[in-house]
Each structure stands twice: as C-alpha cells, then as structure tokens.
Amino acid sequence: MGAVWAAVVWHLLHAIASCAAILQRFLDGIAIATGSVRFAWRSVTKKPRVVAIVVDGESARKGRDEIVELLVFLAAAGIRQVALYDMEGILKRYGTYLEKRVVSSTWKRQLKHDFHFSNGVDPFPRSNPIRTKSEPRMVVELLSMSDGKDAIAEAARRIHDDLRGSSRQDQLERINSLTETDLNESLKQIGRWKPDPELMLVFGKINSVQGFPPWRIKLTEIIYMGELRRNIDSSLSYALQAYSGRTHRYGC
Amino acid sequence: MDSHSLQNVSRSLPLQLDPKRLPRHVAVIPDGNVRWTKANGLSAYKGLSVLRDIARISNQWGIEVLTAFAFSTDNFKRPKAEVEFVLEHLDNMFTLDHPNTVLKDGLKVRCIGDMSKLPRSLQAKISEAHEMTRDSKDLKFILAIAYGGWEDVLQACQRIASEVEQGVVKANDIDQCYLRKKMLLTEWDEEVGDPDLLIRTSGEQRLSNYLMNNLSYTELVFTEKLWPDFNEEDYVKAVVEFQERNRRYGRHDN
C-alpha cells in the first residue's frame, strides 16, 4: 500500500513540475512577444559568450536602428561576440553605418566598449581608434548565405585542390580516409571557422535558421523572438534569462 | 480491423488545418524517450510505435514526406544496453510479421545514415524494406538511423572529391546545388526536397546535428511534450502554428 502511495505522490509531483515548466515557457513566450516584462539581465547566472542573431530580409532593410539597439544591449550585457546574419547580405552593405551608430550610441550611454566589425572573413576599416586595451570588446561578424551553405561547397572544392599533385592511388586513399577534422580544417583555411554560438535569436516573420552556417549551430539554443521592433531590452533580457534557466541535455 | 483497412478508411483532414497550406515535407526530432521511459518503465516503451502512428496520420492528411531522426550517431555513445534496446525495437519495425511493423501501411520506407554501423540482420531487413516498398505512391517515410548531419556533409564532400578525381565533374562546377544532390536526404530521390516544417519534442530547442544542410528554410516548431506523449492533437497544433505563420507572412519559397 505504501508503495502505491509513493508512486501516486511521485507521479503527482512529476505532473506539477511539468505544469510549472509549461507555464514558465508560456510566460516566456508572452514576455518575448510583448516585451512587457522586465528582468534584470545582471541576475542571469549563465550567459552565452557568442550569440547569433538571424534577421529576415525585411528586418535587415528596415530595421537598422533596431539592430543598433540590439547590439548595444548585448554589449552592455557582456556578450563577447555576435554573429549577425541575414541571408541576402544586406547588413554587410551597411556594416560601416552600423559600426558608427553602435559606437556613437555606446558613447551616449557612457558604456565604454570597443567594437570590432567584420564581414565574416575580413575586418571593416576601423572608423574609430581603439580607446584602451582594458575596455571590454565585442566582435560583430556580419554574415550571409555565402558564409553558410556556399562555404561548404567552397570547402569541398578546397579538399579536392589539396589532393592535386598526388598519385591517383594516394588521392583515392586520402578521399576514403577524410574525416570531419579535415572538413573543419578546410573551413578554417577559407576563414569560416569561428566559435559556435550558444544562443541564436531569430527575428522576423519566420522561425528558421535561413542558411546560417550549419556547422556552427549543432548545439545552439534557438529562440524565436518575433518581429524586430524598438525598445527591445525587455524581450532580450527575457531571452537571456530563458537561456540561463534551461537545462541542456546533449546526445539526441 | 487490420492496418490496411484502417489505411483505407476515409478520414478527413482535421478542421483546424487548411489543405492548401499543408507542409509537403515534415521532419521530426522525437526527443524525450529516455525521460519518459525512466518515468513510466522500460516495458512501456513506445517511442517507435508513436513514430509509426505519426507516419500513418501524415499519410492520411496528404503530407508527402515524413523524415524522422530515429537514431543519431551520437546515440551510439549511450549505455550499451540502451543502444541494444532501441536497435531491437527498430528491428521490429522492419520485421514483416511483428505487430509494430511499418511494412504493412503502404508507405514508401527509406532509411538514411551509416548502415554499416547497424547489426547485419537489421541492415538486411532495411534493404528488404526498401525493395518491398519501392513502388508505393503513398507517404515517403524516411528514418534517419545512425545518422549525423555533419557526417552527411562529409560523405557528400568525399563523393564529390572522388567524382572530380574521376573526371565526372569539374572542381569549378561544385556549388551548393551540386552538394545538395549528394546529401543523403535528397540523393536517393530529389523530389523529397528539404523539410518545410521541423517539429522537436521535449522542450529542447536545438537542431542537434540533424539535417544540417537541409534546414535553411525550414520552419521550426518546438513543443514541451515528451515524444511518447506526442499525439494527433499535438501534431495538429504544430501544423496549425506552421500554417498561421505562413498565412500571416506568406509562404517562404526555397
């Protein structure tokens, strides 16, 4: 009889925990969608070091000010690296503009930060001198489809290029013994090997990775943020809080 | 009523679903089996039978392709007893006379992954299943077994390097489209295409090395339910969410 009661209590506790998790997620969703709940991001215990931001084409075209606001927030939150992605490469064309606005905005907010923008491979010309070495630094990569799936094709061509000059026998042996390490090395050689983001925030009309470099997001937590809008601090705080609170299980 | 009769029963699409905006290709990551089994006992395991049910439902709704991440390369790192348990249940799916077989539903069954990692008996059954269901015109039911997304990309690169070496293709002609033709998902049937919708259960919001090169335009829907508890109602909700996004914002074309 005691065992029966124990089983009943256990299942009841399990059900309560499940309902609490569902309610938490429900509230996460409302807060992210409405931006109406304020959380102190400073209380976040586990922050991602690298964050990926994926925006759709319309957001990239019309939401530059919102993107500046987003980057300033992430810098203030202590994020070290941001991979900012739109499929068509629109943001790459506005890289210098974004950098100037971000630097100007951080000065106005008296946030002492150094920023380093790059277009995924090469850095942009610096528009501001490095202030001091002790200031926190955030690297912003501007990425597009050419840095994603197109890069894999480029790596595949490079693998073949590395085989040229060898005998046919050697080439066949080498091809058959290729490993993931070789593929990763090939991506490094073309400048595409960068740290994996722990967190991806997707803005826009669709919740899709939209061609973001797939080898970098195998274990990345993906949070759909809805449409890009102004005064986004609350939603971002909530997303960081949600990321921090999640238990990550690996080995699907 | 046997499974064939059930298959042929007229079953209208749930009212909540718009037949004009059904996803053509659905992918699932059926996560949460371990947690569910720990809570309910090993003897109650039903992860793969739920997968079979979802395949039947997909076929009845008119969805053309269902791709399931049944067993990843990373799963081989789990305790041996657990791996053997799952492989045994997978074996049952491809055994014609077993109650959990998928071979009597009229579906076109295909497995993608590194088959050499599987027991020989299972490899043989999978080959037979491919042959047995080859001519089916119903749902293409693809099970990713011993599959890893990045390993898939690697095998595609190996094949391309080999083809360039043999003079089948020039190195400069290798692009994203050519790479795609060598990926396991589309290599056996180009009409399969990339998934329109990916559903992952158990609350995890990651892609976990699944179909890494095929999900660029795939709408992602995450649900808290553990996979064995995922039922038709949950499936409807996920497809409704997909349709709502597409309705509001216009379908995104590949």
pLDDT band of residue A128 (cuts 50, 70, 90) is very low
Shared domain for A82 and A105, answered yes or no, is yes
Shared domain for A75 and A200, answered yes or no, is yes
Look up the ipTM and state it: 0.87
CA distance B213 to A149: 7
Shared domain for A104 and A203, answered yes or no, is yes
What pLDDT score was predicted for residue B57? 96
Shared domain for A6 and A90, answered yes or no, is no
Q: A205 in contact with B at a CB cutoff of 8 Å?
A: yes
pTM for the whole structure: 0.84
CA distance A86 to A84: 7
Supply the DSSP string of chain A, one letter for each residue: -HHHHHHHHHHHHHHHHHHHHHHHHHHHHHHHHH------GGG-SS--SEEEEEE-HHHHHH-HHHHHHHHHHHHHTT--EEEEE-TT-HHHHTHHHHHHHHHHHHHHTT---EEEEESSSSBPPPSS----TTS-EEEEEEE-GGGTHHHHHHHHHHHHHHHTTS-HHHHHHHHHT--HHHHHHHHHHTT---PPPSEEEEESS--S-TT--GGG-SS-EEEEEES--SS-HHHHHHHHHHHHHPPPP---
Average pLDDT along chain B:
89
Shared domain for A9 and A131, answered yes or no, is no
Q: Which tokens in the block code for residue B175? A: 């692009």
Shared domain for A3 and A99, answered yes or no, is no
Shared domain for A27 and A51, answered yes or no, is no
| Contact residues, B window 200-219, toward A, CB-based 8 Å cutoff | 203-210, 212-213, 215-219
CATH number for the domain including A125? 3.40.1180.10
* Whether A21 and B203 lie within 8 Å, measured CB to CB: yes
Map B63-84 to HEC letters: CCEEEEEEEECHHHHCCHHHHH
Burial of B175 (0-12, 13-18, 19+ CB in 10 A): middle
**pLDDT average, residue stretch A123-131:** 45
Shared domain for A216 and A124, answered yes or no, is yes
Shared domain for A99 and A197, answered yes or no, is yes
Q: Which CATH class is domain B23-148+195-242?
A: alpha beta
- A231 belongs to a structural domain: yes
* Whether A214 and B215 lie within 8 Å, measured CB to CB: yes
What domain count does chain A have?
2
- Examine the pLDDT at B1 and tell me if it is beyond 50: no
pLDDT in tens, B54-93: 999 999 999 999 999 999 998 999 999 989 999 999 999 9
What's the domain range around A66?
46-148+192-245
What are the phi and psi torsion angles at B163 (to 5°)? -65, -40
Q: Which of B18, B40, B53, B75 is catalytic?
A: B75
- A155 belongs to a structural domain: no
Give domain limits for chain B: 23-148+195-242
What pLDDT score was predicted for residue A21? 58
Minimal C-alpha gap between B108 and chain A (Å): 25
Shared domain for A135 and A91, answered yes or no, is yes
User: Taking the CA of residue A199 as centre, how many other CA atoms within 13 Å lie in the half-sphere pointing to its CB?
Assistant: 25
- Examine the pLDDT at B193 and tell me if it is beyond 70: yes
> Which stretch of A31-40, A146-155, B238-247 has the lowest confidence by average pLDDT?
A31-40
* Alpha-carbon distances of A200 from A225, B27, B46, B227, rounded to whole Å: 10, 20, 32, 24
Shared domain for A96 and A14, answered yes or no, is no
* Whether B209 and A218 lie within 8 Å, measured CB to CB: yes
- Examine the pLDDT at B98 and tell me if it is beyond 60: yes
- Examine the pLDDT at A47 and tell me if it is beyond 90: no
Examine the residue annotation and report whether B152 is marked as an active-site residue of this protein: no
Q: Show Cβ contacts of residue A163 under 8 Å, excluding neighbours closer than 6 positions.
A: A171, A174, A175, B161, B165
- A77 belongs to a structural domain: yes
- A84 belongs to a structural domain: yes
> Which stretch of A44-48, A88-92, B139-143 has the lowest confidence by average pLDDT?
A44-48
What pLDDT score was predicted for residue B138? 95
Shared domain for A16 and A50, answered yes or no, is no
